Amino acid sequence: MPPYDKIYGRKCRSPMCWEEVGERALAERELVEVINQVMPFIRARLKIATSKHKSYANLHRREVVFKEGDMVLLKVISEPDLKILEDLSYIEQPIQIIDTQIRKLRNKEIPKVKALWNRHNMEKCMWEIHDSMIQQYPHLF
C-alpha cells in the first residue's frame, strides 16, 4: 500500500487522474509528456530556492565557543515561592486592593475593586467584581 493511501485512507488523485470515481485511466499521452518535460524545471527551481534560503540562513548563523575564564551573561530566573502546576501554569494571588468604584448601568450598579496581583506592576492592575473578591480573598478586606 502506498504511503499516501496509509496516511489519508484513500488513493491519491493526481491531476493525471481527475475523473469520475470508479474506473480511472491515465490522461492523454500528450498531457503525460508535457508533465514529464516540465518536472525537471520545477525541481531545478525548487533546488535553487532552497539553496538561496540556506545561504541566507547560514550568513547569520555562527558557532560560539567559550573558554574557561570568558565573561558571559547568563539570564537566570529564580522564583522559589512560585508553585508551577502539572499543566505548567501557576495561580495568581492578589496582594492588595488599590481602588474601588461602582459601575452604573441602566438598571443596576456593580461594585468593583482594583486589585494588584503578585508578579505584576501597578500598570497591570485589574478591575474585579467586589463580591467575588470578598468570597475568594476575604483577607484583603
* Residue 26 lies inside a defined structural domain of this protein: yes
* Residue 71 lies inside a defined structural domain of this protein: no
* Residue 66 lies inside a defined structural domain of this protein: no
pLDDT in tens, the chain (141 residues): 667 777 777 777 666 555 555 555 656 778 778 888 888 888 899 999 988 888 888 887 778 888 999 998 887 776 656 777 888 888 888 888 999 999 999 999 999 999 998 878 888 888 999 999 999 988 888
Number of residues assigned to the chain:
141
pLDDT value for 19:
53
Write down the pTM of the prediction: 0.40
Domain span at residue 131 reads 94-140
Same domain, yes or no: 7 and 52: yes
Same domain, yes or no: 52 and 100: no
- Residue 123 belongs to domain with CATH number: 2.40.50
Checking DSSP bridges between strand 126-129 and strand 94-104, what pairing results, if any?
unpaired
Domain's final residue, options 44, 60, 76: 60
Cell output for 90: 501557576
Those residues with Cβ within 8 angstroms of residue 16's Cβ, 6 or more apart along the chain or in another chain: 26, 27, 31, 32, 35
d(CA 98, CA 57): 50
* Residue 72 lies inside a defined structural domain of this protein: no
* Residue 105 lies inside a defined structural domain of this protein: yes
* Residue 65 lies inside a defined structural domain of this protein: no
Total tally of structural domains belonging to the chain: 2
* Residue 76 lies inside a defined structural domain of this protein: no
* Residue 113 lies inside a defined structural domain of this protein: yes
